[in-house]
């Protein structure tokens, strides 16, 4: 009976996932197939206009604008801008998300819809917090970097223990904290690369995370929710509790999503320069 119920549950999850995909298509959302990547090589834009960039499905449902004072005074919105470009990456621009003090007071993030359910995904991206970015404690209560939707809803984040984790699975925190990543209690203003790996399963699920190439979260043969996998991803979600005496920002760039991995960092161009020409020996 237990096995029959489990099969029925998986069947319902599969039907629900397919229904979500159909509804997204009917509602006119852009959707992408994997592998997918972006360097945000698209026009400068913010949430005053519909999002048009590499098949993304629109701006996420957060604050449309923030009224900032102090260092970043003015009206701030979620934006794709050259100011958020990772200079060691592959060009283009980057995504900038603005955060106010408190809980879940951030500018709009971006949505990415998949054309189907994927039961295994790797996501690599580069992330920078503004220099001096401060939390009410010694780190975030949570900072949800990604938010998956489908058969289950795992959330790769820096969690209440101030460590890298993947919320939902009841597994312990990772081995790298906010302060260790930043080399101190506040944002270092530097780019770090993160990679997360999820595999759907009841007894054979996988949840892994790397920071700057170091495996800091590694759980295999765990319950990641089973079902058909994931068909919708929010990139840069919400957080608690920044304490910057107003606004600060978070930048994301050079995102790659695949069904196989690990992906690793942006490739370094090791091509030897061409020999000089036109030289004369005197």
Cβ–Cβ under 8 Å, residues 145 and 239: no
Cβ–Cβ under 8 Å, residues 66 and 73: no
C-alpha to C-alpha distance for 46 and 83, rounded to whole angstroms: 13
C-alpha to C-alpha distance for 121 and 257, rounded to whole angstroms: 7
Cis ω for the linkage preceding 262 (within 30 of 0):
yes
Predicted confidence (pLDDT) per residue in 34-48, tens digit: 999 999 999 999 999
**Domain presence at residue 267:** no
Residue-level pLDDT at 281? 52
Cβ–Cβ under 8 Å, residues 158 and 178: yes
Question: What is the separation, in whole angstroms, between the first and last Cα of the chain?
Answer: 91
Instruction: Give the angle 142-212-185 at the CA atoms, nearest 5°.
Output: 45
**Domain presence at residue 78:** yes
**Domain presence at residue 86:** yes
Q: What is the mean pLDDT of each run of 10 residues along the chain (282 residues)?
A: 45 44 50 97 96 95 90 95 98 96 93 96 98 92 93 86 78 84 96 96 92 94 86 93 95 98 84 50 52
Strands (E), 160-280: 164-167, 192-199, 205-211, 214-222, 230-235, 239-240, 247-258
**Domain presence at residue 163:** yes
Residue-level pLDDT at 169? 65
49 CB-contact burial (10 Å; exposed 0-12 / middle 13-18 / buried 19+): exposed
Residue-level pLDDT at 19? 45
Can you say whether residue 168 is alpha, beta or left, with left for phi > 0 and alpha for psi between -120 and 50 degrees? left
Cβ–Cβ under 8 Å, residues 38 and 56: yes
Structural domain for 49, as ranges: 2-258
Structure tokens at 14: 């599969």
**The dihedral sign for the CA sequence 55, 117, 36, 253:** positive
**Domain presence at residue 149:** yes
For residue 253, the domain's CATH number is: 2.60.120
**Domain presence at residue 147:** yes
Predicted confidence (pLDDT) per residue in 55-98, tens digit: 999 999 888 899 999 999 999 999 999 999 999 999 999 999 99
Cis ω for the linkage preceding 35 (within 30 of 0):
yes
**Domain presence at residue 278:** no
C-alpha to C-alpha distance for 118 and 277, rounded to whole angstroms: 51
Can you say whether residue 8 is alpha, beta or left, with left for phi > 0 and alpha for psi between -120 and 50 degrees? alpha
Domain count for the chain, please give it: 1
- For tokens 């991995």, what's the residue? 261
C-alpha to C-alpha distance for 138 and 136, rounded to whole angstroms: 7
**Domain presence at residue 230:** yes
Residue-level pLDDT at 171? 60
Neighbour tally for 29: CB within 10 Å: 17
| DSSP-derived secondary structure for 201-232 | -SSSEEEEEEETTEEEEEEEEE----TT-EEE
């Amino acid at each position: 009976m237990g096995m029959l119920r489990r099969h029925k549950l998986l069947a319902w999850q599969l039907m629900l996932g397919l229904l979500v995909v159909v509804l997204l298509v009917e509602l006119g959302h852009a959707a992408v197939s994997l592998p997918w990547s972006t360097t945000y090589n698209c026009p400068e834009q913010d949430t005053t206009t519909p999002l048009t960039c590499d098949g993304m499905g629109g701006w996420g449902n957060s604050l449309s604008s923030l009224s900032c004072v102090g260092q970043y005074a003015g009206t701030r919105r979620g934006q794709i801008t050259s100011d958020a470009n990772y200079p060691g990456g592959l060009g283009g621009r980057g995504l900038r998300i603005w955060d106010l003090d408190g809980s879940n007071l951030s500018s709009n993030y971006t949505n990415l819809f998949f054309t189907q359910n994927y039961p295994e995904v790797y996501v690599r991206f580069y992330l920078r917090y503004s220099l001096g970015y401060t939390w009410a404690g010694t780190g975030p209560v949570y900072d949800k970097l990604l938010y998956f939707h489908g058969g289950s809803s795992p959330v790769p984040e820096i969690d209440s223990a101030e460590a890298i984790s993947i919320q939902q699975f009841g597994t312990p925190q990772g081995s790298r904290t906010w302060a260790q990543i930043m080399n101190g209690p506040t944002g270092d203003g530097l780019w770090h690369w993160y990679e997360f790996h999820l595999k759907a399963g009841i007894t054979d699920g996988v949840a892994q995370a790397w920071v700057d190439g170091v495996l800091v979260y590694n759980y295999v043969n765990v319950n990641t929710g089973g079902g058909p996998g994931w068909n919708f991803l929010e990139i840069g979600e919400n957080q608690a509790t920044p304490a910057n005496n107003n606004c600060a920002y978070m930048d994301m760039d050079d995102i790659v999503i695949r069904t196989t991995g690990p992906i690793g960092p942006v490739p370094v161009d090791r091509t030897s320069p061409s020999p000089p020409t036109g030289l004369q020996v005197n």
